[in-house]
Structures are given as C-alpha cells and as structure tokens.
Amino acid sequence: MAELAPAHAAHAHAAPTGFIRKYIFSLDHKVIGLQYYFLALVAVFVGMALSLLMRWHLVWPQSHMGWLEKLFPAGAAGGVMTPELYLSLMTMHGTIMVFFVLTTAPQSGFGNYILPIQIGAEDMAFPTLNMLSFWVTFVGFVVLIAAFFVTGGAPLSGWTAYPPMSALPEAGPGEGAGQTLWIVSLALFSAASLLGALNFITTTLDLRARGLSLMRMPLTCWTWFVTAILGLLAFAVLLAAGVLLLMDRIAGTSFFVPAGLVVSDRVINHSGGSPLLWQHLFWFFGHPEVYIAILPGMGVVSQVISTFSRKPIFGYRAMVFAILAIGALGFGVWGHHMFISGMSPYSAMAFSVLTMSIGVPSAIKTFNWIGTLWGGKIRFTTPMMFAIGFVSVFVTGGLSGMFLGQPPVDLFFHDTYFVVAHFHMIMGVASIFGIFAATYYWFPKMFGRMMNDPLGKLHFWITFIGVYAVFGPMHYLGLIGHPRRYAEITGVNYLAQSHPLHLFMTIAALITVGAQLIFLFNLFWSMFKGKKAEMNPWEATTLEWTVPSPPPHDNFAGAHPVVYRGPYEYSVPGAPKDYIMQNDPEPAKAAH
C-alpha cells in the first residue's frame, strides 16, 4: 500500500536547499501559494489606495494634492486630479482587484497551498508549471502597473475595455501605450491562469489519497476544482479576445471596429468589425469570472462554518450540486451584462431566465449555511466571524442581482451605482470576506503561529459595518439614476442630491481601509510573535490538520494518508471527541 503510484512519482521532488530555489523559484506548492497570496496582498493595497483617491475626488474635486502631481505629472497637473486621471485610476482599480486580488488570492493562493494537503498529495501535479504560472502572473502585474508611467498614462476604458474606445488611440489619453500594456498584462494573466487551471484539475482528479472519493472531498476542494474548470474555459476566451483587440491596435485588423467612425475629428480607417463581438467574448469570460472569484470563498465559508458550528455541513450533496450548477449556469448568463447594448432584445429574455435561475443554487447554499449553524455549538473565532459576515453580505449582494437580472428593471439600473453596489457586495466584499476567513483559519497551518484574536475581532467589526456603510448607499444612488464611471458629479444637475451620500461613503471608505492596517499588522506581527500553533488548533477534521504546522516540504513526510470518511464529521454521537478526523480509522459509531 505504501508504494508510490506513478502519478505520485511524477511530481515528487527533493527539498531545495538554496535560498533562490526555496523562496523565489520554488517548486513547492506551499511557497507558490504564499507567493500568490503576497502578490494579492500588495495588489489589494494598491487597489484600495486607488479607490480612496477616487472617493476623495468625487467629494472634493478641486482639492490640491501636490504629491499627486509628483506621481502623475500629466494627470494631476497643478495638483488637481483631471477626469482622465480619475478614469485611469478606476480602470486600474477594477483590473487590479478583479484579476490580481479576487482571482489570485482565493484560487491560486489558498488553492495552491491547501488543496494538495487536503487531498493527501505531496505537491501539485505539475510543480514546474505551477512555478511558471506564478511568475507569468507576476510579470503581468508589473506590466499592468507600468501602464501608469507611460505617455498618456493608464487606460480610461474601464476593466471591461469596450472597443472602439480600447481599440483606438485617438479615443483619449491612456488609450495609447497604456491600453496596449493593459491588454498584454491581461493576456499574460490569462495564459498563467490557463496553466494554473490545468494543474488544479489534474491534481484534484489524479492525486487524491486512497479512500478520498470525490464525494468525500472537503467543499473547499470542490470549489477549487470547479473554479479551475471555469478558469480553463473562460480565460481561453479572454486570451483570444485580448489578442484580437491587440491586433486591432497594432496590426491594422478590424475585429471590433466598424466603418465610418470619426474620432477626435479623424476619420478612422477600419471597417467590418463589431463592438458587440468584444462584449460577447469579454462577458463570456467576465461572468464566469465572478464565480471564479466567489466559489472558493463559498468553499472556505462552508468549511469554516461547519468547523466552528461543530456540525456536519447541512446538505453536503446539495452543496456539491449547487457548486456544479453555478459552474454550469455561469456560462449561460453573460448576456445580462448586455441587455441595453444593442444585442437582440429576444435573447435578453433567455439570458434573463438563466440569470434568475442561477439565483437558485446560490439560495440553496445560503439556506444550507444557516441550516449548518442551526443546532450548532458555535465558537466565535475570527474566521467564523468573517464566515458569518460572508453569509450576510452574500445575501445582500445576491438579492440586488434579482433586479439587474430582469431586462425591464435593468433598463433603469444598468450602468448606475446600483450595479456598482451589487458587484462590490457579491464579488468584492463577499470574496474578500472569504479571503479573510481563509487567512485567519489557515494562518496557523501556514506559519505555525496563531493570529491575534482580539485584533482579528476588531478588524471584523470595523470591516463588517464599514463595507455596508461604503456600498449600501450606492443602492440609493442607483435609485436616483446616478450613472457610474462619472469623474465628477457636477456635470449633470440631478446628481447634486447625491453629494451627502458621496461624502458619507468617502468617510466610511477612509475608516474601513484604515482598519485594514490592523489586519496587516496582525498578519506580520503574528508571523513572528504569535502564539505557537499546534497541529490542529481548531479541532478540525480535514487532512491539512493531520500534518505539522507548517507542514514539511512534501506535506506528509513520505507517508500516504488514507481517508475513511467524509470531511465534516463533527459531534458524532458516541464518539470520544466532538470531531473525527478524515484519516481516523476508528469507525464512527452512529455515522450510518
């Protein structure tokens, strides 16, 4: 039984000795996971800083910031932010957050670190590919940030980069070299994500420990697995679309630009392209991308709620089916981003029915989380607080989608702050809460020390109230018909009434972002000064809690764990403790 299966032998590699092979160009999934995590950490602080600048500008558009001029000599000439600088900050905020935070941390970060251990493998299936994925992603990030510092600055076209704006340098500052770098960055990111997805899928299918059938996998593994499949299908399309857009810019093709355009008094020499083609390709990627960001968080929340309710997850099979349903339906709803785009109004109805349908598995998950808490014996650890907070913001963000999923209602709300409220709640905040829950939950495993709990709780309270204060009022802005992506609220008269709300949100954002420094301090302080963590500090059941904290190079020190039961056997009647580990051979007396 102890002999190596061929698949195991293929990816086994000796522990590296030198600093570079150990920490920089490492093949170890744990190091690569941490590299992704810290990349996302840098990215999220850059992204938050950009959002604060935007929020500041919306409330005090004329305020003088000398240091801003040093950073952006053209965009903030005289120290006052120009509309084009605002839009480039917005574009970069969205791009950084969606790709380098929400796609990077939950899947590539935690997935890389935890998945192999949770399924009893000693590494990912393709360690070299894994290293390559990270470094290509890293280069993608550097290329993206470089867009700020080229002539014209970063692009203005938003993270959605609709052509012809994104295809024509004439369309505005930032649409020159900045937009080109943006496309190159996304192409790199897509390629890296494709490699990563292959690795995750192969690892999940091939390297599971004996006894770990698919239906015994922790829900985290299910979500990483399905997310990888989504990534494989979605990023392939984004990569193709990005290459076509790049060709339109540099090779004279016209995939997305039709004939007869006059931009900035210049007749454009393109013909035959369709701006809607980009929108279809982009959203064919873009909507599954939402689930790429949120699914791993759902897995983490299931794991954390089960652990700290001391109860098996309510409806494990229903949860798995819901994950699969979200993954499948997620590819049939992209048109709801295009109800008013000029797309056939008939297809809008079909997209709408599918969109409303995807609310069903999301509702199932919510009910099952509440069902898990019901009858539990709840332990209020910091990860649990964030998991409970996740459920609350997920409900809030999900329900606003029920308005946007209906074409006649979307007629009013499309491209207003209501949409901004919706996707920040469901895709941004919920995913970030998933990342926080995962950080507080697995930190002891990753660093061998506990994070400080009172600081964690303080971080939770401010963040939970803060995100509602920042994004809640955006719903009301949507009600008054406030379009999004406006650099100032002075151009249209009816927006004057929005000023008090903007002021409130800006103050709330300053406080909420400030509270993230508590998290940052806790993270690094605990890494060196935190209380030493035991092997299984949370009394949890899955395989990562059967190895030392932090785990050795090959995770199980040469042993091959065998799994005897499902992932969430808590409070089994008659068992000696209130949890039974997955690799515990002692049969649970009342399990069947």
Partner 1 sequence: MPLLLALVIWLVCLALALPFFTRTWWFPVAISEHARQVDTQFMFTLVVTGVIFIVAQLALGYVVFNYGRRRSGAATYSHGNNTMEVLWTSATAILFIGLTIMGGSVWARVHFMGAPPGAIPIEVTGQQFVWNMRYAGPDGKFGALDIRQINDAGGNPLGVDSKDPAGKDDIVVPTMAVPVNRPVELILRTKDVTHSFFVPELRLKQDTVPGMTIRIHFTAETVGKYEIACAELCGLGHYKMRSFLEVMEPADFEKWLQKRSTR
Among 108, 112, 302, 352, binds partner 1 (CB under 8 A): 352
Residue closer to partner 1 by CB (options 202, 366) is 366
Residue closer to partner 1 by CB (options 257, 427) is 257
Nearest CA among 229, 244, 212, 236 for reference residue 561: 212
Q: Considering only residues 412-431, where is the footprint of partner 1 by CB under 8 A? A: 412, 414-416
Among 315, 324, 511, 525, binds partner 1 (CB under 8 A): 315
Per-residue contact track with partner 1, 56 to 95, x per CB under 8 A? Answer: --------------------------xxx--x--------
Amino acid (one-letter) located at 313 = I
CB of 321 to partner 1, least distance (A): 9
Per-residue contact track with partner 1, 364 to 393, x per CB under 8 A? Answer: x-xxx-xx-xxxxxx-x----x--x--xx-
- Asked whether 210 and 147 are in contact (CB, 8 A), the reply is no
Length of the chain: 592
Among 490, 524, 548, 558, binds partner 1 (CB under 8 A): 490
Nearest CA among 393, 369, 365 for reference residue 464: 393
Amino acid (one-letter) located at 66 = G
What is the maximum alpha-carbon separation in the chain? 81
User: If binding is defined by CB under 8 A, does position 151 make contact with partner 1?
Assistant: no
Residue closer to partner 1 by CB (options 202, 357) is 357
User: If binding is defined by CB under 8 A, does position 507 make contact with partner 1?
Assistant: no
Can you say how many angstroms the Cα of residue 517 is from the centroid of all Cα atoms in its chain? 20
* Secondary structure tally for the chain: helices H, strands E: 18, 2
Q: Considering only residues 239-278, where is the footprint of partner 1 by CB under 8 A? A: 257-265, 267, 273-276
Beta-bridge mates of residue 210: 562
Q: Considering only residues 329-348, where is the footprint of partner 1 by CB under 8 A? A: 340-342, 345-346, 348
- Asked whether 385 and 433 are in contact (CB, 8 A), the reply is no
Alpha carbons 24 and 219: distance in angstroms, whole number: 31
User: If binding is defined by CB under 8 A, does position 24 make contact with partner 1?
Assistant: no
User: If binding is defined by CB under 8 A, does position 47 make contact with partner 1?
Assistant: no
Residue closer to partner 1 by CB (options 367, 525) is 367
Q: What radius of gyration, in Å, describes the C-alpha atoms of the chain?
A: 24
User: If binding is defined by CB under 8 A, does position 37 make contact with partner 1?
Assistant: no
Q: Please work out the total of residues on this chain that contact partner 1, with binding judged by CB under 8 A.
A: 117
Alpha carbons 580 and 592: distance in angstroms, whole number: 14
Q: Angle formed by the axes of helices 453-479 and 430-447, to 10°? A: 160
Alpha carbons 184 and 135: distance in angstroms, whole number: 15
User: If binding is defined by CB under 8 A, does position 215 make contact with partner 1?
Assistant: no
CB of 148 to partner 1, least distance (A): 16
CB of 221 to partner 1, least distance (A): 18
Q: Angle formed by the axes of helices 275-309 and 430-447, to 10°? A: 50
